[in-house]
A = this chain, B = another copy of it.
Amino acid sequence: MANIADSSISRYAIEAFKFQDGTQSNVEVAYLDINPSASKTALVISCFRGRLLSTFTFSKGALKDHRIIVVALFGNGESSSPSNAKELLGSPDYRDCVRAQHQLLTEHLGIHSLDVISGFSMGGQCTYHWTLMYPTFTRNAVIICSSARTSRHNIQFLEGPKAALQNAIDYVDTRRKDTAPPSRALRAFGKAYSAWLTSAEWFDEEMYKALGYETLEAWDRDVAGNNYAGWHEDDLLYKLHMWQKGDVTAIDPADNGDLSKSLAKIQANVLLMPCETDQYFRPDASERESRMIPRAKPEVIPSIWGHIAGAGTNDTDTKLMDKKIADFLASSP
């Protein structure tokens, strides 16, 4: 085990980590330790294309009196990922992320219970896995724009960017020649992803202007292009596969794929915050899930920002989430 400081980012090494698929590798879990002397403790998990330092943590609001451990999912380029691993990593599974994070908390940081785990999108899916793999570890879970099982619609949408990337001329070239980043592949990926991120209403109302873009084309150049700079194509695919496979019913084979059976076993208090216009982590799915969880509170974010409403992208939605989280934590048994 080693703990290598890299500015504020720490890395916890685990030797011969056993992946769910039976393989094993030496791995590292990258994390931040924010406000370490606070009385309460929170774990915040990164999302798809999420880096530690850009993960929204509510550290100035609802979680201001919490020590916050921010952890990076495998595949994000900070924790072990195809781009930085010396050995082959196992096939990606949220359960691996959770077990590695659990080991970081218990064996390295001496944390044996949490007040809250929170995650947006893939981070929310990982949070769901936590509540069932270590049912008494956290008292509260905050799951933002996410789901307990990736829907078929979501799986199919992800086939788009995946195929765009995997069939691109310079992705194939990269695999053969190990040359420069495959800019065409990344751009095709970004294009195939871009219209899903927000909502039809968001485009209608030209909300990219609120982000400082004069035109749709200018927004597209960043969102479906420049913003992928520094992202490794195989890390994107690794995480995308983890996302497609996301399914809490896999944790206990006795559940036989029955989501209501799995979710009925959640002991944490759960705050579910879907966005009403999210095109793939749909609010109706969160509402259905909330009815299967013993102590769940659904709070729909009324916003045209779609999926990224939950990412801290705009003040109005962020303030509302912060307030709802604070209220939830204050009133949770």
* Chain A residues within CB distance 8 Å of chain B: 151-153, 155-157, 159-164, 166-170, 172, 184-185, 187-188, 191-195, 199-200, 202-204, 206, 216, 220, 224, 279-280, 282, 284-285
Contact = CB atoms under 8 A, between A and B. Distances in A.
Given A152-B206, A164-B164, A204-B151, A157 B187 contact: no
A163 B191 contact: yes
B282 A195 contact: no
A38 to B, nearest CB: 40
Contacts of A220: 156, 159
A172 B170 CA distance: 11
A323 B169 CA distance: 49
A159 B193 CA distance: 9
A96 to B, nearest CB: 24
Nearest to A185: B167
Max chain B CB contacts within 10 Å: which of A153, A199, A280? A153
The count of identical subunits is 2
Contacts of A151: 200, 203-204
Contacts of A167: 164, 167-170, 184-185, 187-188
A51 to B, nearest CB: 24
B160 A192 contact: yes
A168 B187 CA distance: 12
Max chain B CB contacts within 10 Å: which of A172, A188, A280, A285? A188
20 contacts: A152-B206, A153-B195, A153-B200, A153-B204, A156-B195, A156-B220, A159-B191, A159-B220, A160-B193, A160-B195, A161-B192, A164-B167, A167-B169, A167-B185, A167-B187, A168-B169, A188-B188, A200-B279, A200-B280, A200-B285
Given A152-B204, A152-B216, A167-B170, 10 more contacts: A152-B206, A156-B194, A159-B220, A160-B161, A162-B191, A167-B188, A168-B168, A168-B188, A200-B280, A200-B282
B156 A160 contact: no
